[in-house]
């Protein structure tokens, strides 16, 4: 296998802007005085609350249980009183109920750390059950509940367990830091998932812009027969379908899951959570995320509690250097803009960006001149401009024919568009509108 | 678009230098007509002002470039009005036209006022007894036509440069390179047009696929077949002569590369360029006209939707 593989179609190389945070150690944020904990932090149905108003809760106590097959448990990040239930909107436009927990310093109940919990002796079903009740979800962005993802349906085999350490979004370096500071824990997480999936190969895909992490993973992986594949830094390498093609050379059929070709994907952050849940008996109540952007005084990676308001993280980074023009939850390419500084961190939050005018494209949209740049960069081999024009004319069947559903929403097309057309937003909106129209037609 | 204008400045300056003030006037009229047409249509139909995208100015400049310097001044105006109002505006403005407006404007007036459009100024830097005449390409073409009609084949021996010599055009390849010849006011200097195209390529505005496929396929066909009519057999065509004369450079670098009217994909653009090269060759070699660039490009413009339909990127996860 040659060094520096990459995916074959399209892709872009935005300035990676990771230097401001990737060299500094992860800071731990103090516990928030008020935590806003959404019951829907994952793909699937909202967790069913198990606490009532004015209940006293301990740190790490279950406050929401999985309400259906695809759902995840939610825990209290701090010890305190459930002071309010409210309905909030997350930046990605999802409406959810949330518990507001006022921290009470008199309740002393730190999470019990059962070091080196003996997971080896447990059966696969027992391990999955623990993942379920510790609320482990994918931390790469999709937040799919891990206990579902890691249980292989009958008739399928996992050939390759593919670990995504690309972190191809600009600015973000949380996964990078996590690898550097917790290599052994991640390796232990891999071992646990290996037991669950029994794959023939375990491969870590990592981009060449993280040399120090490549060295650490290679050193730790060699003895454990974990392959480390170096990839050329190119966006969106971390999109699972593109990562599979980049590393394994084959494609996931349109509309199918990676398991169709025998692959299960996971992000390094998720593996760390798996380790925490099974070895240290800790529920997912905190995560590492990048707080960066030109408007942040001292950008850094922070370990913050789920439910912490964004404002507390920014304070931890010494506040704003200048007034931000745009706040983004996630990476600059696929993240979501938001305005409210009380917005809570959730399990899937990979970063908080406060961007200045120089970092944000504020140019006005002009007509499409069919230059074809979007076609050239699309990692899925689509023609974004064609799909856009179909959506513009409400021709959703045509748009689907041209691949609307295959779009991975990576935003490479919007990034290069010289006419500044918000292509990817149009696709997201187009999918929603298409569903609503279809639902209406059924009635 | 601003960079497109900048890149056209050297060729324009050269045109004004060799053809005089009149060249400035022709381009000026073409630009003003294009801008006024678009501006007035915007106002009349209550559309937002679209002059800021500079595309009307570019269209005007390119139309001016395609005119002989001593043309009646209403002709560039008519070409611009037709280009903007009929070809561009009526289909929805910038991005929605399916034919290159400047090219269509030129062809429209070419077939309406053919005599005026083929009456070229002789550069004032050339010492000859006339102020106007034919372009080198036309001279060669008419000589070829009359000679193949009647004269003995022996007189054809040589190539286009020898034919030019006999017709009293005192020129060398160097003159053709820098543009010291009769022709449309912006098309004559191959050197300065290439310079402009290099600027655009460096700024990543110009796609290289179309010029390369166009010029490459055209040069290959000329090399392969054009020598035959001079009795030189195959593989003996005068490539340099054909590349440096007529509208080839202006067409291949600035007209055929118009983003709106070319295919979306790289392979599509290569097919487009190859088609332009083939058609230009066919028209120049077999047609009665000396020049084939504008018709070749317009014809390929029409084929663009078809090319885009059949040449698509290979989609991820779709088995064919």
pLDDT tens series, chain A, 443 aa: 445 899 999 999 999 899 889 999 999 999 999 999 999 999 999 999 999 999 999 999 999 999 999 999 999 999 999 999 999 999 988 899 999 999 988 876 665 655 667 888 999 999 999 999 999 999 887 899 999 999 998 889 999 999 999 999 999 999 999 999 999 999 999 999 999 999 999 999 999 999 999 999 999 998 888 999 999 999 999 999 999 999 999 999 999 999 999 999 999 999 999 999 999 989 999 999 999 999 999 999 999 999 999 999 999 999 999 999 999 999 999 999 999 999 999 999 999 999 999 999 888 899 999 999 999 999 999 999 999 999 999 999 999 999 999 999 999 999 999 999 999 999 999 999 999 999 998 87
Query: Between β-strands A160-164 and A201-207, what pairing exists: parallel, antiparallel or unpaired?
Result: parallel
Residue A1 has a pLDDT of 43
A103-132 burial code (b ≥16 CB/10 A, e <16): beeeeeeebeeeeeeebeebeeeebbebbb
Domains and CATH numbers, chain A: 114-278 (3.40.50.11540), 373-442 (no CATH)
* Interface membership of A364 toward B (CB under 8 Å): no
Whether A386 contacts chain B with CB within 8 A: yes
Interface test with B, best of A239, A380, A381 (most B CBs within 10 A): A381
CB contacts, 8 Å: B313 with chain A: 9, 375, 378, 381-383
The residue among A49, A89, A82, A51 whose CA lies nearest residue A67 is A49
Instruction: Please give the residue of chain B at the shortest CA–CA distance from A10.
Output: B313
Q: What are the DSSP E strand ranges found in chain B?
A: 120-121, 132-133
Q: Is ipTM beyond 0.90? A: no
Sign of the CA dihedral with B249 first, then B254, B255, and B259 last: positive
Nearest to A383 among B93, B259, B313 (CB): B313
**Among partner residues B314, B316, B319, which is closest to A241 by beta-carbon distance?**
B316
Residue A314 structure tokens: 């920014």
Q: List own/partner pairs for B291-296 with CB under 8 A and 24 or more apart.
A: B291/B135, B291/B137, B291/B138, B291/B246, B291/B247, B293/B246, B293/B247, B293/B248, B293/B250, B293/B251, B293/B252, B293/B255, B294/B66, B294/B103, B294/B106, B294/B107, B294/B110, B294/B247, B294/B251, B294/B255, B295/B107, B296/B251
- Is the CB of A367 less than 8 angstroms away from the CB of B269? no
Residue B150 has a pLDDT of 56
CA angle A302, A303, A308 (to 5 degrees): 95
CB B207 within 8 A of CB B132: no
Task: Give the 3-state DSSP-derived string for chain A, with helices as H, strands as E and coil as C.
Answer: CCCCECCCCCCECCCCCCHHHHCCCCEECCCCCEEEEECCCCCCCCCEECCCCCCEECCCCEEEECCCCCCCCEECCCCEEEEEEEEEECCCCCEEEEEEEEECCCCCCCCCCCCCCCCCCCCHHHHHHHHHHCCCECCCCCCCEHHHHCCCCCCCCCCEEEEECCCCCCCCCHHHHHHHHCHHHHHHHHHHHHHHHCCCEEEEEEECCCHHHHHHHHHHHHHCCEEEEEECCCECCCCHHHHHHHHHCCCCCCCCCHHHHCEEEEEHHHHHHHHHHHCCCCCCCEEEEEEECCCECCCEEEEEECCCEHHHHHHHCCCECCCCCEEEECCCCCCEEECCCCCECCCCCCEEEEECCCCCCCCCCCCCCCCCHHHHHCCCCCCHHHHHHHHHCCCHHHHHHCCHHHCCCCCHHHHHCCCCCCHHHHHHHHHHHHHHHHHHHHC
Instruction: From B308, B218, B289, B293, select the one nearest B256 (Cα to Cα).
Output: B293
R_g of chain B computed on alpha carbons: 20
The span from the CA of A174 to the CA of B262, in Å, is 43
Q: What is the pLDDT of residue B166?
A: 79
> In this complex, do B96 and A367 lie within 8 Å of one another by their Cβ atoms?
yes
Q: Are A169 and A13 in contact (CB under 8 A)?
A: no
Q: What residues of A are in contact with residue B259 (Cβ under 8 Å)?
A: 369-372
Q: Please give the C-alpha separations between residue A10 and each of A269, A368, A379, B79, B213, in angstroms, as whole numbers.
A: 27, 20, 5, 40, 22
User: What's CA B239's distance to the chain center, in Å?
Assistant: 17
CB under 8 Å to A139, separation ≥6 — which residues? A267, A269, A270, A273, A287, A347, A348, A350
Chain A 217-246, residues with CB within 8 Å of chain B CB atoms: 241-242, 245
B233 class by beta-carbon count within 10 Å (0-12 exposed, 13-18 middle, 19+ buried): exposed
Q: What is the pLDDT of residue B111?
A: 93
Distance from CA of A430 to the nearest CA of B (A): 20
Tell me which residue in A366, A371, A381 faces B315 most closely, judged by beta carbons: A381
**Mutation site for B-interface testing, chosen from A363, A370, A371, A389 by largest number of B Cβ within 10 Å:** A370
Rounded to the nearest angstrom, the minimum Cα separation between B200 and chain A is: 14
Count chain A–chain B contacts defined by CB atoms under 8 A. Answer: 75
**Three-state DSSP class for residue B121:** strand
Cβ distance B313 to A372 less than 8 Å, yes or no, reads: no
Contact B315 A376 (CB under 8 A): no
Considering only CB atoms, which chain A residues are within 8 Å of B309? none
Least CB-CB distance to B318: which of A241, A254, A419?
A: A254
Q: Do the beta carbons of residue A171 and residue A353 sit within 8 Å? A: yes
SS3 B289: coil
- Residues from chain A contacting residue B261 (CB–CB below 8 Å): 370
Contact B293, B184 (CB under 8 A): no
Q: Any CB–CB contact under 8 A between B309 and chain A?
A: no
A382 close to B (CB below 8 A): yes
Nearest CA in chain B to A367: B95
SS3 B26: helix
Contact B313 A378 (CB under 8 A): yes
For B:260-299, CB contacts with A below 8 A are 260-266, 269
Nearest-Cα distance to chain A for B135, in Å, is 34
* Residues of chain B positioned with their CB less than 8 A from the CB of A385: 264
Inter-chain contact A383–B316, Cβ cutoff 8 Å? Answer: no
Kindly list the distances between the CA atom of residue B231 and the CA atoms of A317, A398, B152, B153, B219, in Å, as whole numbers in the listed order: 81, 56, 12, 8, 19
Vertex B122: Cα angle to B29 and B187 (nearest 5): 55
Answer yes or no: do A367 and B259 touch at CB < 8 A. no
User: Pick from B261, B266, B314: which is nearest to A381 by CB?
Assistant: B314
Buried b (16+ CB within 10 A) or exposed e, B169-189: bebeeebbbbbbbbbbbbbbb
Residue of B nearest to A407 (CA): B316
**B194 contacts B211 by C-beta, under 8 angstroms:** no
CA distance B262 to chain A (A): 8
Whether residues B265 and A371 touch (CB distance < 8 A) is answered with: no
Closest CA to B232 of B157, B164, B162: B157
Q: Is the peptide bond before A236 cis (omega within 30 degrees of 0)?
A: yes
Rounded to whole angstroms, the Cα distance separating B82 from B76 reads 10
Report d(CA A42, CA B228) in Å as an integer: 74
**How many residues are listed for chain A in this entry?**
443
User: A170 to each of A132, A167, A322, how far by Cα in Å?
Assistant: 32, 8, 20
What values do phi and psi take at A284, rounded to 5? -80, 95
Min Cα–Cα distance to chain B from A173, Å: 28
Chain B contact for A422, CB < 8 A?
no
B318 touches chain A (CB under 8 A): yes
The pLDDT tens digits for B196-240 are 999 999 988 888 999 999 999 999 999 999 888 887 888 888 999
Tens digit of pLDDT at every position of chain B (320 positions)? 889 999 999 999 999 999 999 999 999 999 999 999 999 999 999 988 889 889 999 999 999 999 999 899 999 999 999 999 999 999 998 889 999 999 999 999 999 998 889 888 888 777 666 677 788 888 888 878 777 665 555 555 578 888 888 777 767 888 889 888 889 999 999 999 999 999 999 988 888 999 999 999 999 999 999 888 887 888 888 999 999 998 999 999 999 999 999 999 999 999 999 999 999 999 998 888 888 899 999 999 999 999 999 999 999 998 76
> Would you say A338 and A381 are in contact if contact means Cβ atoms under 8 Å apart?
no
Question: Which residue ranges make up each domain of chain B?
Answer: 2-117, 152-309
Three-class DSSP category at B45: coil
């Amino acid at each position: 296998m040659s060094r520096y593989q990459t995916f074959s179609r399209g892709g872009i190389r935005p300035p990676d802007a990771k230097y401001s945070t990737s060299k500094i150690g992860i800071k731990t944020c103090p516990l928030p005085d008020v935590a806003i904990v959404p019951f829907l932090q994952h793909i699937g149905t909202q967790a069913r609350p198990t606490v009532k108003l004015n209940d006293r809760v301990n740190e790490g106590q279950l406050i929401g249980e999985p309400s259906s097959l695809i759902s995840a448990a939610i825990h209290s990040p701090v010890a305190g009183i459930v002071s309010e239930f409210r309905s909030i909107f997350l930046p990605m436009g999802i409406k959810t109920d949330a518990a507001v927990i006022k921290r009470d310093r008199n309740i002393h109940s730190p999470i019990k750390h059962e070091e080196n919990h003996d997971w080896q002796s447990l059966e696969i079903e027992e391990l999955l059950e623990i993942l379920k009740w510790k609320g482990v979800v994918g931390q790469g962005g999709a937040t799919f509940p891990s206990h579902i993802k890691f249980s292989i349906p009958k008739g399928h085999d996992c050939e390759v367990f593919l670990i995504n350490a690309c972190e191809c979004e600009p600015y973000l370096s949380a996964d990078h830091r996590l690898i550097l500071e917790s290599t052994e824990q991640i390796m232990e997480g891999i071992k646990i998932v290996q037991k669950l999936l029994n794959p023939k190969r375990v491969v870590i895909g990592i981009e060449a812009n993280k040399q120090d992490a490549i060295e650490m993973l290679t050193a730790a992986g060699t003895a454990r027969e974990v392959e480390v594949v170096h990839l050329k830094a190119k966006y969106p390498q971390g999109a699972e379908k593109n990562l599979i093609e980049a590393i394994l050379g084959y494609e996931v059929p349109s509309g199918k899951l990676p398991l169709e070709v025998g692959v299960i994907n996971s992000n390094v952050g998720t593996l760390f959570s798996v380790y925490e849940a099974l070895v240290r008996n800790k529920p997912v109540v905190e995560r590492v995320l990048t707080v960066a952007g030109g408007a942040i005084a001292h950008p850094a990676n922070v370990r913050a509690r789920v439910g912490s308001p964004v404002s507390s993280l920014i304070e931890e980074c010494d506040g704003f250097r200048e007034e931000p023009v745009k706040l983004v939850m996630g990476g600059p390419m696929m993240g979501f803009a938001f305005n409210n500084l009380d917005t809570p961190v959730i399990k899937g939050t990979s970063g908080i960006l406060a961007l200045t005018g120089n970092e944000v494209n504020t140019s006005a949209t002009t007509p499409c001149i069919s230059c074809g740049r979007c076609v050239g960069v699309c990692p899925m081999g689509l023609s974004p401009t064609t799909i856009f024009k179909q959506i513009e004319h409400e021709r959703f069947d045509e748009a689907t024919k041209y691949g609307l559903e295959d779009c991975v929403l990576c935003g490479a097309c919007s990034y290069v568009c010289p006419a500044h057309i918000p292509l990817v937003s149009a696709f997201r909106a187009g999918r929603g509108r298409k569903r609503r129209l279809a639902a209406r037609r059924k009635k | 678009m601003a960079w497109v204008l900048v890149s056209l400045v050297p060729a324009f300056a050269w045109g004004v230098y060799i053809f005089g003030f009149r060249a400035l006037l022709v381009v000026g009229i073409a630009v003003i007509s294009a801008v006024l047409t678009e501006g007035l249509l915007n106002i009349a139909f209550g559309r937002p002002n679209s002059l800021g995208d500079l595309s009307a100015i570019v269209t005007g400049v390119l139309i001016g470039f395609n005119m002989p310097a001593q043309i009646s001044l209403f002709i560039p105006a008519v070409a611009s009005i037709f280009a903007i109002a009929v070809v561009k505006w009526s289909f929805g403005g910038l991005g929605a036209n399916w034919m290159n407006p400047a090219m269509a404007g030129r062809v429209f007036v070419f077939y309406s006022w053919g005599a005026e459009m083929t009456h070229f100024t002789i550069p004032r830097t050339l010492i000859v007894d006339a102020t106007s005449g034919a372009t080198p390409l036309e001279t060669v073409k008419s000589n070829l036509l009359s000679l193949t009609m009647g004269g003995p084949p022996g007189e054809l021996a040589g190539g286009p440069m020898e034919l030019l010599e006999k017709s009293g055009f005192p020129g060398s390849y160097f003159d053709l390179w820098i543009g010291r010849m009769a022709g449309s006011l912006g098309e004559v200097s191959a050197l300065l047009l290439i310079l402009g195209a290099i600027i655009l390529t460096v700024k990543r505005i110009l796609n290289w696929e179309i010029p390369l496929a166009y010029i490459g396929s055209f040069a290959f066909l000329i090399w392969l077949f054009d020598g035959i009519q001079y009795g030189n057999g195959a593989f003996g065509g005068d490539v340099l002569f054909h590349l440096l004369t007529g509208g080839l450079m202006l067409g291949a670098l600035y007209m055929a590369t118009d983003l709106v009217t070319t295919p979306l994909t790289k392979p599509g653009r290569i097919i487009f360029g190859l088609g332009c090269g083939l058609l230009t060759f066919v028209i120049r070699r077999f047609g009665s006209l000396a020049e084939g660039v504008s018709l070749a490009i317009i014809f390929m413009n029409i084929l663009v939707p078809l090319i885009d339909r059949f040449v698509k990127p290979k989609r991820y996860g779709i088995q064919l």
